[in-house]
Amino acid sequence: MSDKVFSIAIDGPAGAGKSTIAKALARELDAMYLDTGAMYRAIGLDLSRNGLDLSDAASVAAAVGNVDIDVRYEDGTQHIYLGNEDVSRAIREPEVSMAASAVSAVPEVRERMVALQRKIAEGQNVVMDGRDIGTKVLPNATLKVYLTASAEERARRRCLELKEKGMEEPFDKVLQEMIQRDYQDTHRAASPLCQAEDAKLVDTSDLTLEASVEAIRALALEAIQARS
Ligand code: DC
């Protein structure tokens, strides 16, 4: 293999399995994993704790520079800090999903996050997941994947994930929120979620987790080997 670094960009809507698959892939390829959604979640959490109206883009833009956000790796696992507080669990609360989606529509938030994401990944083999990784953060990624699944399947998976974390929610509520969040994420003006022209589409609706990881690992190995 070449000694050049590789980067794998995985984008797609909520609940498509991006983080589970990206994490497994990073482990297998001995690469760093960066969950960029966690960063928008931390901004949303911080600003909503401070009582900001997240639909007011000007206030969000003015406040984002003051958020003391840090991404740290502890035993190979990504943790997100706000000041000295590890918020890695708090950002998974269901209401933080909508807060993250709202703040992520604000260009000043995106500028700060994209710069931080590029800095963290610089010079390393990386698997990054999010909404704009292939289109904006890593336009020259070695491999770009657009991961999707039906809304019902994604909501079913999200319900299971929340249950495992002791944060159970009704299926219909999860489905409705997911549809609304996808709408917001695909219709915002700044870097909306979309499939990059050169991304491979992988629909995991009928795939097990293992089969999804296997499919993407095959694409990744092929792309890594094909590098000039
Ligand atoms: O991946 P997630 O569900 O944790 O992301 C939470 C929100 O953050 C999502 O609704 C949109 C936003 N996001 C984004 O705009 N760009 C990214 N690269 C990652 C997430």
Successive 10-residue mean pLDDT values, the chain, 228 residues: 84 93 95 97 98 97 98 94 97 93 97 97 96 97 97 94 90 95 95 96 94 96 89
How much is the pLDDT for 2?
53
Rounded distance from Cα 220 to ligand 1 centre (Å): 23
Distances (CA, A) of 43 to 83, 197, 227: 12, 29, 36
How much is the pLDDT for 4?
87
How much is the pLDDT for 94?
87
How much is the pLDDT for 3?
63
Total residue count of the chain as it appears in this document: 228
Q: What span, in angstroms and rounded, lies between the C-alpha atoms of 88 and 68?
A: 14
Amino acid, res. 215:
A
Rounded distance from Cα 129 to ligand 1 centre (Å): 9
How much is the pLDDT for 147?
97
Say whether 55 sits in a helix, a strand or coil.
coil
Side-chain half-sphere exposure of 62, counting CA atoms within 13 A: 7
- Tell me which architecture the domain covering 7-214 has in CATH: 3-Layer(aba) Sandwich (3.40)
Q: What span, in angstroms and rounded, lies between the C-alpha atoms of 216 and 36?
A: 19
How many C-beta atoms surround the C-beta of residue 71 within 10 A? 18
Say whether 158 sits in a helix, a strand or coil.
helix
Which atom, in ligand 1's list, is nearest to the CA of 15?
Answer: 3
Rounded distance from Cα 37 to ligand 1 centre (Å): 4
C-alpha angle 187/108/115, rounded to 5°?
105
Which atom, in ligand 1's list, is nearest to the CA of 97?
Answer: 6
Residue nearest to atom 20 of ligand 1 (CA): 37
Q: E-strand spans in the chain?
A: 7-11, 32-35, 69-74, 77-82, 85-86, 126-130, 143-148, 200-203
Structure-block tokens of residue 227? 């590098």
Residues in the ligand 1 pocket, defined by CB under 6 Å:
14, 36-37, 40-41, 97, 100-101, 104, 130-133, 181, 185
Q: Is the backbone of residue 83 left (phi > 0), alpha (psi -120 to 50) or beta? A: left
**Domain residue spans of the chain:** 7-214
